């Protein structure tokens, strides 16, 4: 079985940058790497991503939001993530099930038990070997966004604080599988700390390489 690594955090924290940096370095070392993201990564996931990110006058209920994210996650897990792991690849995913706990559970106020049940169904019980949380004050993180903001980025400061607190609670409850890093650190320094933690996991897993180094 391969290695499953996810990146989590609020809007503008730099998850996508760090996920790309890690995947590039691992590919350089000769590993089979799949870089993907949520919501998306499959044809259905891309359709749902456009719908979930789009600002709309009427809004969308928290329950519908939860189930749409779960549908995208189910497709990604069964069609991309699990097959890659079964061939001993390293999967690097920008957001996964913990995003739903933080956003729809802590942020929207849905029952955490309900969110957990939906996540179990969508992921088939698949959990990351490592989750990297890039933590940052939401107000500072949102200032990094240079393009037009999506629906989530227009949420209230209180919503983003609840999301951040949710992430920190998840990380504190499972320190073995979480790595919390200050997102304000330089991208290169963050990448080194992530790589150090991943190297320790690679030593334990003994994954094959596609190319000699």
Token digits for 44?
């259905």
Domains annotated on the chain, with CATH: 3-205 (3.40.50.300)
What is the model's pLDDT at position 209?
Answer: 81
Which of the four pLDDT bands, split at 50, 70 and 90, describes residue 57? low
Q: Measuring CA to CA, which residue among 135, 145, 141, 134 is closest to residue 157?
A: 141
Residues sharing a CB contact under 8 Å with residue 183, sequence separation 6 or more, in sequence order: 9, 13, 14, 134, 135, 136, 141, 190
Give 120-153 pLDDT, tens digit per residue.
999 999 999 999 999 999 888 777 766 656 788 8
The alpha carbon of residue 151 and the mean position of all alpha carbons in its chain are separated, in whole angstroms, by: 18
Q: What is the pLDDT of residue 55?
A: 63
Q: Which of 187, 133, 140, 117 is nearest to 165 (CA)?
A: 133
Q: Are 38 and 93 in contact (CB under 8 A)?
A: yes
pLDDT of residue 149: 63
State how far the Cα of 150 lies from the Cα of 188, in Å rounded to an integer.
27
Phi, psi of 56 (to 5 degrees): -145, 150
Q: What is the pLDDT of residue 148?
A: 56
How far is Cα 166 from Cα 102, in angstroms, rounded to an integer?
5
Tell how far CA 7 is from the center of its chain: 4
Question: Is residue 210 over pLDDT 90?
Answer: no
Cα–Cα dist 127/150, whole Å = 28
What is the average pLDDT score of the chain? 92
Quick one: pLDDT band at residue 114, thresholds 50, 70, 90? Answer: very high
185 token code pair: 């650190």
Residue 26: both structure tokens together: 């691992």
Q: What percent of the chain has pLDDT over 70?
A: 94
pLDDT digits (tens, 9 = 90+) for 11-51: 889 999 999 999 999 999 999 999 999 999 999 999 999 98
Q: Specify the pLDDT at position 146.
A: 60
Label residue 175 by pLDDT band (50, 70, 90).
very high
Q: Averaged over 44-62, what is the pLDDT?
A: 84
How many CB atoms within 10 Å of residue 112? Answer: 14
């Amino acid at each position: 079985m391969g290695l499953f690594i996810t990146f989590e955090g609020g809007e503008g924290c730099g998850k996508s940058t760090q996920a790309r940096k890690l995947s590039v370095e691992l590919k350089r070392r000769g590993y089979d790497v799949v870089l993907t993201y949520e919501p998306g990564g499959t044809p259905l996931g891309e359709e749902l991503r456009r719908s979930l990110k789009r600002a709309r006058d009427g809004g969308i209920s928290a329950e519908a939001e939860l189930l749409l994210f779960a549908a995208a996650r189910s497709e990604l897990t069964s069609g991309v993530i699990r097959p890659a792991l079964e061939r001993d690849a390293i999967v690097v995913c920008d957001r996964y099930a913990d995003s739903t706990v933080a956003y729809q559970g802590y942020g929207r106020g849905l029952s955490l038990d309900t969110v957990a049940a939906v996540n179990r169904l969508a992921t088939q019980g698949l959990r990351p070997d490592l989750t990297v949380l890039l933590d940052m004050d939401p107000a500072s993180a949102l200032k990094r966004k240079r393009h037009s903001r999506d629906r989530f980025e227009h949420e209230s400061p209180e919503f983003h604080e609840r999301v951040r607190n949710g992430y920190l609670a998840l990380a504190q409850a499972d320190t073995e599988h979480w790595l919390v890093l200050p997102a304000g650190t330089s991208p290169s320094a963050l990448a080194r700390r992530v790589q150090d933690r991943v190297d320790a996991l690679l030593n334990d897993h003994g994954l094959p390489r596609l190319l000699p180094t």
